[in-house]
Structures are given as structure tokens and as C-alpha cells.
Amino acid sequence: MPASTRRRTIVGASTQLGTEVSINLGSALAGVAIPSVGSPIVVAARQLVMVVVLLPFYRPRRALLTWRRLWPAVALGVSLAVMNLSFYEAVHRLGLGIAATVEFLGPLLLALATSRRVLDVVCVFVAGAGVVLLTGLEGTVDGWGIALALVAAASWAAYILLTRRVALGLPGLEGLTVGSVVSLALILPLAVLGLASATFSWPVVGLLLAVGLLSSAIPYALDTFILRRITARLYAIITSFGPVVAAVFGWLVLHERLGWVQLLAIVLVCVAAGTAIATQRPAPASELERTAESLT
């Protein structure tokens, strides 16, 4: 590997680790804010920050606002709203480490859905065993919280599929902008209903702003930078260790205490995901890709 390519990979991988820290720190701060204002208000604040960041730069053109063209972006907004609301409520009920691990099953199963390798099947069973250990042995896990985390997992898988569809059909970040507006519109009525019982203070407002920046604005702004420097596979491998990062921030920020069985379960899920992704065979490069590679 040329030195310049190695440097780009190191910078990209380091930045991706930073985004994992940013996202999970934002989730931990959301866990701090939820008891004061409720999950809908936290999600609405996060989506509002994302809209404020995206809309001035990626405003859709009115002449192109047709249903046929925009329905994938609208569906993306629905999945985004359901994913964030169910995940934050799961964090409130289960803790960040457990919620993040269960949610990660969505993209993991999606990534392995079309595989016929025996190793991938083993990895799925190991990940499933990890989740059973995480949720089924100690008898103290909230069943409704698990259901919400599984909804978040399914929504995350849908979000991945719809993001790809939107990226292919709409220029730039136009689709994400439309999805963010739709998501905010869906969440706002629930947030308004929660205002009467919410307890606001300047520290809570600061937490809501931090959640929006750390969980949405910063990661989305950096993703393009990252994916220009590392492969999608390396990106996925780093992402697979997100539950460990989440467990660390759950311990540091939310003072969560996980037993050794739960810690083992989180490690099992991460190892299964990392093994499955790291051992995937890359698709054969086209003649054009080989030519471009030889010129760099």
C-alpha cells in the first residue's frame, strides 16, 4: 500500500472512531435529558439541529418536488423518526449498552442476509446467543424496552436500505434533507404533547443542543470525508464495535453497571459482527477500477 494511501486510511479510520465516540456520547447525554423532558422532545431537538444544519445548503428545488421522486426520502424520514424515538426510549428503559447492542442486530442481519457462507451463519448464531445472554438470564430486563430496541433495529435496517435508494435517486444530501424535515414533522406533535410535563432548565437545553450536534450534525458532516478515505468494509468493521463504545459511555455518563454476563454478551455480538464483516470477500474490481487504481 502506498504511503499516501496508508495515511488517508489512518486519518479516515481515526475520524470514524471519533464519530462513534460522538454518536454514543450524544446518546448518553440523551439518556441524561430524557427523565427531564421525555424521549419525543429529545428526538425533536436532534432532528431540529439536523434540519438547521442541512436545509440552508441542500434545499430541494420546488420544480422537482414530485411524489414519484421523493417517496423514498419521505419513507426515510419515517424510518428515521421511528428509529430515533424507539431507540431513545429503549435507552431510558434498558440503559445505553444493552439498547445499542440489541439495535445493532438490524444492520448486522441486513449485512448477512444474502450470504450463504457457513461462517456467516455461525456469526449470526453467536450474535443471537449474545443478545439472549444480554436480555434473558438475569430476569431484570424490561420486556417493553427490548421490544423498542428491536423496533429500532428493524428501523435502522430500513434506514440503510432507504439511504442507498435516496443516494442513487437524489443529488447531494437533498434526500437526507427531505427525510430530516419529514422526521421532524412526525415527531413535533409528540414533542408538543410532552411539553406540559417537561422540566426545562439551561443545562437541559444545553444537553439537547449537544445531542443534536454529537448524534446528527457532526457524524453526518464527517461521513463523506471518511468514506473518501477508507473502504465501506473498514467503515462497517469500525461501526461494529459501536456497542462497546456505547457501554463505556453508559458507564461513564449514565453510571450504568453491567454484570459480567452482560459484558460478555456485548463482546460476543461485536466479535461476531467484526468477524463476519472482516472475512467478507470484496467484489472483483472492474477493469476501470483497476486502471484507476494503477494511476493513483
Q: Which residue has the cell 437526507?
A: 176
Q: Residue 236 pLDDT > 80, yes or no?
A: no
pLDDT at res. 105: 86
pLDDT at res. 288: 44
Tell me the whole-structure pTM to 2 decimals: 0.82
- pLDDT confidence bin for 4, thresholds 50/70/90: confident
pLDDT tens for residues 259-288? 888 888 898 888 888 887 777 665 554 444
Which are the contacts of 219, defined by CB distance < 8 A and separation ≥ 6? 19, 22, 23
Q: Residue 292 pLDDT > 50, yes or no?
A: no
Q: Which residue has the cell 423496533?
A: 151
Taking the alpha carbons at both ends of the chain, their separation in whole angstroms is 11
pLDDT tens for residues 12-69? 888 888 888 999 999 999 999 999 999 999 999 998 988 888 777 666 666 556 667 7
Give yes or no for a contact between 173 and 54, defined as CB atoms under 8 angstroms apart: yes
Mean local confidence (pLDDT), 227-238: 72
- pLDDT confidence bin for 218, thresholds 50/70/90: confident
* CA 272 to chain centroid: 18
- pLDDT confidence bin for 175, thresholds 50/70/90: confident
Question: Within 10 A of 114 (CB to CB), how many other CB atoms are there?
Answer: 7
* Spatial CA neighbour of 215 closest among 249, 178, 169, 240: 249
Higher-pLDDT residue of 39, 162: 39
* Spatial CA neighbour of 126 closest among 240, 24, 233, 232: 240
How long is the chain? Answer: 296
Rg (CA), the chain: 20
Question: How many contiguous H segments (helices) and E segments (strands) does the chain have?
Answer: 14, 0
Instruction: Write down the domain spans for the chain.
Output: 3-281
Mean local confidence (pLDDT), 189-201: 92
* Spatial CA neighbour of 269 closest among 146, 141, 134: 134
Averaged pLDDT of the chain: 82
Mean local confidence (pLDDT), 66-86: 87
